[in-house]
């Protein structure tokens, strides 16, 4: 099992999905991606989450982000579950969901729950935890978040992180606590002297290591 950390290349795989067979890296292409997993089909928290992702489809597209789900069931089960998700969420799921009945991909991505003895299937096998991976166009993992089975994910926060990562990559800045797009950003420590003045004229120095400037992505 790979020791996946931030900065690791996301493992490639071939899988059956609700939209046919994919080869993951090929499917990613030059896009950002969010891979998010679920322990089982027809579960209450996950049903609400998938509906929310479907409702936010335009927000992901605006950021050049592909989304793909994974659940430890087969595609036939996923297809039936999607009908429930669309009904409950009053939406339409148009992104693929991976069938991972044998938990091969969940194992490769270290998604199995080793801590919660109640999160097991009928055979006593650990279920897939509710993980989120944000993957950039170079296939590098930029964010990992694991959620307990009881707590729904906050996809506005995940979009916020994507905004932060994309802004930082393009403009050599970082983002402070509670940052939202349009708020002030922090000049990256590697940008110093004349280069800082050129890139971020009029930046505000609070401490030598803490310099604020306007969000360049909001002015682009």
Domain 172-219 has CATH 3.30.1020.10: yes
* Same fold yes or no, 14-152 and 172-219: no
Q: Is residue 189's pLDDT more than 60? A: yes
**For residues 188 and 80, what is the distance between their CA atoms, to the nearest angstrom?**
48
User: What are the tens digits of pLDDT across the range 120-171?
Assistant: 555 556 666 789 999 999 999 999 999 988 899 999 999 999 999 999 999 9
User: What are the tens digits of pLDDT across the range 39-53?
Assistant: 889 999 999 999 999
Superfamily of the domain at 14-152: Glutaredoxin (3.40.30.10)
- Decide if 111 is catalytic: no
Beta carbons within 8 Å of 169's beta carbon, 6+ residues apart: 136
CA-to-CA separations, 126 to 47, 78, 145, 205, in angstroms, rounded: 20, 20, 18, 50
Predicted TM-score (pTM) of this structure: 0.91
User: What are the tens digits of pLDDT across the range 73-122?
Assistant: 999 999 999 999 999 999 999 999 999 998 899 999 988 876 555 555 55
Catalytic, out of 46, 53, 67, 97: 46
Question: Whose structure tokens read 């979009």?
Answer: 159
Q: Residue 64 CB: number of other CB atoms within 10 A?
A: 13
| Domain ranges within the chain, ordered by starting residue | 14-152, 172-219
- CA angle (15 as vertex; 64, 131 as ends), nearest 5: 60
Work out whether strand 20-23 and strand 14-17 pair parallel, antiparallel, or are unpaired.
antiparallel
């Amino acid at each position: 099992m790979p020791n996946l950390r931030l900065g690791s290349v996301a493992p490639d795989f071939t899988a059956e999905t609700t939209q046919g067979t994919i080869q993951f890296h090929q499917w990613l292409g030059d896009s950002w991606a969010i891979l998010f997993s679920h322990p089982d089909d027809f579960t209450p928290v996950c049903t609400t989450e998938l509906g929310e992702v479907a409702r936010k489809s335009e927000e992901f597209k605006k950021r050049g982000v592909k989304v793909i789900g994974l659940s430890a069931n087969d595609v036939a089960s996923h297809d039936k579950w999607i009908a429930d998700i669309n009904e409950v969420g009053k939406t339409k799921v148009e992104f693929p969901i991976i069938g991972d009945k044998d938990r091969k991909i969940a194992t490769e991505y270290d998604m199995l729950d080793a801590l919660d003895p109640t999160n097991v299937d009928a055979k006593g096998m650990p279920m897939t935890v509710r993980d989120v991976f944000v993957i950039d166009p170079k296939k590098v993992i930029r964010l990992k978040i694991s959620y307990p089975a009881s707590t729904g994910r906050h996809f506005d926060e995940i979009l916020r992180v994507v905004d932060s990562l994309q802004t930082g990559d393009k403009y050599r800045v970082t983002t402070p606590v509670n940052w939202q797009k349009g708020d002030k950003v922090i000049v990256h420590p590697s940008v110093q002297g004349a280069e800082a003045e050129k890139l971020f004229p009029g930046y505000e120095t609070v401490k030598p290591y803490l310099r604020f400037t306007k969000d360049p992505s909001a002015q682009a």
